[in-house]
A and B are shown apart, each in its own frame.
Chain A
């Protein structure tokens, strides 16, 4: 027992030092590499990472596989588009409102979907997002149609400023989700994923938990969408397209479903692959799904799961001897 405690204590200190080093690196990074394009890719990765985190909360931790997560991102982005066209609101409030718009949408979508389970839930959410996507194209007077809404003033002018702000948002959401999932409240989500009926029998109000969880997830996605809109200075129907949902899903699966750092790692790897494999042109979209398929077949717990397993094995040894079994 004493041995285990020591290990955990060491682990905590190791994590703290690692976290501080990482924060330091993030802070000084723009001064070391002034490559603007690289910073832009980091900003995009941060936005995708936030989106992936939000999807991971609802699908990885609560077990509700949402195929329409893009609609929450889109709600935030389109709200900024509408508001800046009509009113002059300050961007920080705009970002908050974007999150709240997504929460509102999550209630509209989430409450009727509460009764649905498994695949039915997934398909209903896909249906909702598809309806919204079609509406964004079919109502050009409100949404600008295929062109979208352009000319939204940039919130922060410099790339470095955006770099820091996107990290601020990402770290805030990561911190909030970490605290949430360590609390009693968050543990209920996991218990719903593991066995919904049993959780209900144990006295958890599963309906309320699901609505709350969906709302929190939507808030994070909405904030990411609103910020994305300010950063790109435009909104197009791409923000509620299935492509976005699947890039978030891919990041989560690549990194590791139901882990906190996995989605961020996945978002980074995939965004950088996406941007820097540009020379492959048409072959890029062949390599990318191939990597995901191979990943799923050979390492379903994602890169993060693979790494964690490896580190644990190194730190604690392998008492169960599964490695020797594998060799046989």
Chain B
């Protein structure tokens, strides 16, 4: 039983990490605190649900479509809402929070208050000794890790990635060097949103879908980013897995009501020991 819990926590953590990498990207490159990150997760779940249940699109195709749609939505939001107010952290936080509530209500009106659940990408499960694993969890973990790996390679190797890292290090210097900082910001925000949406898609078959589902993952990704340190992809993945493990172990050993307490105590403790997380450099 314990092995089962640990393995599930590990796999869940991988998907959390995917979402947190998106948040870490917007935080690290754009230096904004995006409270609408949970909204993109919700959006991902709802779009894939609509695509898979109604026109019966293949789940993998639906995942790609959702990724693209939310990427475009992210671009538009960056251009209209974030760019005019980017200089003030507080205003960005409040605006993205307002955006999240606004969109939540729109989803509420569009899809109703029902709890929905999406069909799994693949059915079935297998057993090793005492541990039962369904393919969906493994697949979600694998796709999540693959996306994170692709992102890491893009950031490391391509011209766009290099420009992005330049913007992360010094925005004004990047401008001087002729990098289109506004374009990079737009793409980064869109990518962050799309990664959250991908996490939403991958967890849609495992959890219930409802308009307010995004708040908890938002807090969790903040927690992971703090654990892992901002702007460090490896740290974020480790932080995500640690967080997945603590969450499930807490609910196994203490009670499911305390699920939010222990991980947050862990973050507070982390911040007190190392005020900028375990792996990252301080950005703010």
- Rounded to whole angstroms, the CA-CA distance of A283 and B105 in the bound complex is 8
Q: Does the CB pair A117–B284 fall under 8 Å?
A: yes
Q: Which residue of B lies closest to A138 (CB)?
A: B257
In angstroms, how far is the closest chain B Cβ from the Cβ of A229? 24
A297 CB within 8 Å of chain B: yes
In angstroms, how far is the closest chain A Cβ from the Cβ of B218? 10
Q: Which residues of B contact A122 (CB under 8 A)?
A: 33, 93
Q: Does the CB pair B260–A131 fall under 8 Å?
A: yes
Given contacts A65-B93, A289-B101, A292-B98, contact A297 B33 (CB under 8 A): no
Q: Which residues of A contact B282 (CB under 8 A)?
A: 117, 120
Q: Which residues of B contact A117 (CB under 8 A)?
A: 275, 282, 284
Q: Does the CB pair B105–A282 fall under 8 Å?
A: yes
Binds B, one of A79-87, A181-189, A211-219, A245-253: A245-253
Contact of A119 among B27, B94, B267 (CB under 8 A): B27
Q: Which residues of A contact B106 (CB under 8 A)?
A: 286
Q: Which residues of A contact B258 (CB under 8 A)?
A: 134, 138
Q: Which residues of A contact B91 (CB under 8 A)?
A: 253, 296, 300
A25 CB within 8 Å of chain B: no
Contact of B89 among A116, A119, A288 (CB under 8 A): A119
Q: Does the CB pair A138–B261 fall under 8 Å?
A: yes
Q: Does the CB pair B275–A126 fall under 8 Å?
A: no
Q: Does the CB pair A112–B219 fall under 8 Å?
A: no
B264 CB within 8 Å of chain A: yes
**Residues from 213 to 264 in B contacting A, C-beta threshold 8 Å:** 215, 219, 222-223, 226, 255, 257-261, 264
Q: Which residues of A contact B268 (CB under 8 A)?
A: 112, 124, 127-128, 131
Contact of B219 among A130, A246, A297 (CB under 8 A): A130
At the interface, is chain A mostly helix, strand, loop or mixed?
helix
Given contacts A138-B258, A253-B91, contact A127 B223 (CB under 8 A): yes
A104 CB within 8 Å of chain B: no
Q: Which residues of A contact B108 (CB under 8 A)?
A: 282
B128 CB within 8 Å of chain A: no
**Residues from 283 to 328 in A contacting B, C-beta threshold 8 Å:** 283, 285-286, 288-290, 292-293, 296-297, 300
Q: Flag A135-163 by CB within 8 Å of B: 1 or 0 each.
A: 10110000000000000000000000000
Q: Which residue of A lies closest to B230 (CB)?
A: A119
* Residue from A118, A296, A300 whose CB has the most chain B CB atoms within 10 Å: A296
Contact of B261 among A115, A135, A253 (CB under 8 A): A135
B121 CB within 8 Å of chain A: no
Contact of B94 among A112, A128, A250 (CB under 8 A): A250
Given contacts A131-B264, A134-B260, contact A118 B284 (CB under 8 A): yes
Q: Does the CB pair A124–B267 fall under 8 Å?
A: yes
Given contacts A130-B260, A138-B261, contact A293 B93 (CB under 8 A): no
Q: Which residues of B contact A300 (CB under 8 A)?
A: 85, 88, 91
B109 CB within 8 Å of chain A: yes
- Rounded to whole angstroms, the CA-CA distance of A59 and B102 in the bound complex is 24
* Residue from B264, B265, B275, B282 whose CB has the most chain A CB atoms within 10 Å: B264
A-B contact pairs, 6 of them (CB 8 A): A119-B284, A124-B267, A131-B261, A134-B261, A286-B109, A297-B81
**Residues of B with Cβ closer than 8 Å to A?**
27, 33, 80-81, 84-85, 88-91, 93-95, 97-99, 101-102, 105-106, 108-109, 215, 219, 222-223, 226, 255, 257-261, 264-265, 267-268, 271-272, 275-276, 282-284
